[in-house]
Amino acid sequence: MISPFVIVIFGATGDLAQHKLLPALYSLYKKKSLGEKFYIVGFARREFSDDDYRQMISDELQKKNEPEWEAFIKNLYYQQGMFDEEKGYTELIAKLNGFDGEIGACITRLFYLATPPDNYETILSYLENTKLSEGCGQGSEKWTRLAIEKPFGKNLENARSLDERLAKVFEERQIYRVDHYLGKETMQNMIAFRFANSIFEPVWNKEHIDHVQVTFAEKEGVRTRGKFFDGIGMLRDVAQNHLLQMLAAVAMEQPKSFSKEDVRSARVNAIKAIRCPSISEVKNVVVRGQYREYRDEQNVTPNSQTETFVAAKLYVDTPRFSDVPFYVRAGKKMKEEKMEIKIVFKQTCHILFKEYGCPEVGNVLTIRIQPDEGITLRMIAKRPFDNSQDEPALRLDTVDMRFSYDQAFGGHGADAYEKILLDILHGDQMLFNRSDELESSWQLISTILDGWDKEKEEIPLYEAGTWGPDCANRLIESDGRKWL
């Protein structure tokens, strides 16, 4: 059972708060996972009363005549304030002290920064200056937590600066750097799948794996996120976190234990081992693109060079994966929506069956994170003889063995944000980025950004509903492989 708590959501009228955090909290409430007493405070600049804010959220989420919703929003409050003015923070202190008075004790405080990254340092400064970061009394700082959304910085220098600022205000055990993809059930299952099944570990290495593909494809464009996305791009918004986390799930070594620090250390070591190209090599191993209509989107500059697609060929310099290429790609306005990892094993069936012909691609293990979460193993099998054949010759084809979360378990478990919020309230940091993990990822990303700056070439365009620019195909096809 979770003890009484208060969540303060900075950026309470934004898309993340309205369409991710509050629906996740409502779902947890309906599952009776939030405990008997809790408070949710939205902090934003609009002048709302508590009732005004409750009505706005109800309208936005189209919640009407639901008794559970009406009970839930009684726990929802609002604090008007500008991020760069002390008045709102001072009034927030009084509100939080009132909640403590109702309970008769200092309760857990979670400050959730659901704002654009440009606001992070300002909010941190006011949390420190007003002593909100210290909790409600001596020793209560251990019950105070901070959740901060990706992207954590814009480059290595900026990320280090932000991390130093965080460290001055909060201890590492209080900080929850949110990458919601780590909360996906399929991502969490990777450790169990790899290390609890003895059939995979012996072949999970360079002797048997030809290459790995990681795809993060979205059918939608930037929609209403043009102001945030323009100048950030897919490299910072997706590759620095989601793609590298998916890569690390494949490349990491077995943790010493299932404790939060051992799991995080294994993940960090995998990211640290990614080979960083030189600035001059970037153009040979990383490509980018922009969908043709991007510059016409709302709040996007007319001559924007922001990438909506990125693909790279990376290597993980460990004994297990030495010289095994990891092809990663992420894009908007793609042909279909899919987020998945493909482990492509070396094709060896031609050794015995060369005279009969082998499928071009043999065994492929696919871990699908979204949609239709599950795992598929492609195998080679003999096709049955049928009357259309002139003679009963041996023919080989590929078949799939499928595991679906929906079919096996009746669903894919808790929503990623539900899992993340519960872990924060329980004080479990396993699914959250650690400081050294971020530094390692930003070293790679910053080098790529520097390479692009040096290149100074017009960004390639691609048509919506495709798999990105032609250069992405050339990146993998030059090695005699293809995207699957």
In eight-state DSSP terms, residue 199 is T
| Rounded Cα–Cα distance for residues 468 and 483 (Å) | 12
CA angle 24, 232, 167 (to 5 degrees): 70
Q: Is 242 labeled as catalytic in the residue annotation?
A: yes
Strands 108-113 and 209-217: unpaired
Spell out a b/e string for 22-56, using b for 16 or more CB atoms within 10 Å of the CB, else e: bbbbbbbbeeebbeeebbbbbbbeeebeeeebbeb
CA angle 380, 382, 387 (to 5 degrees): 145
The residues that bridge with 212 in the sheet, in sequence order, are 326, 343
Q: List CB contacts of 97: < 8 A, sequence separation 6 or more.
A: 136
Measured distance between the N- and C-terminal CA atoms of the chain, rounded to whole angstroms: 45
SS3 state at 366: strand
| Rounded Cα–Cα distance for residues 76 and 25 (Å) | 11
Catalytic one of 180, 211, 242, 350: 242
Catalytic residues, which ones?
Answer: 242
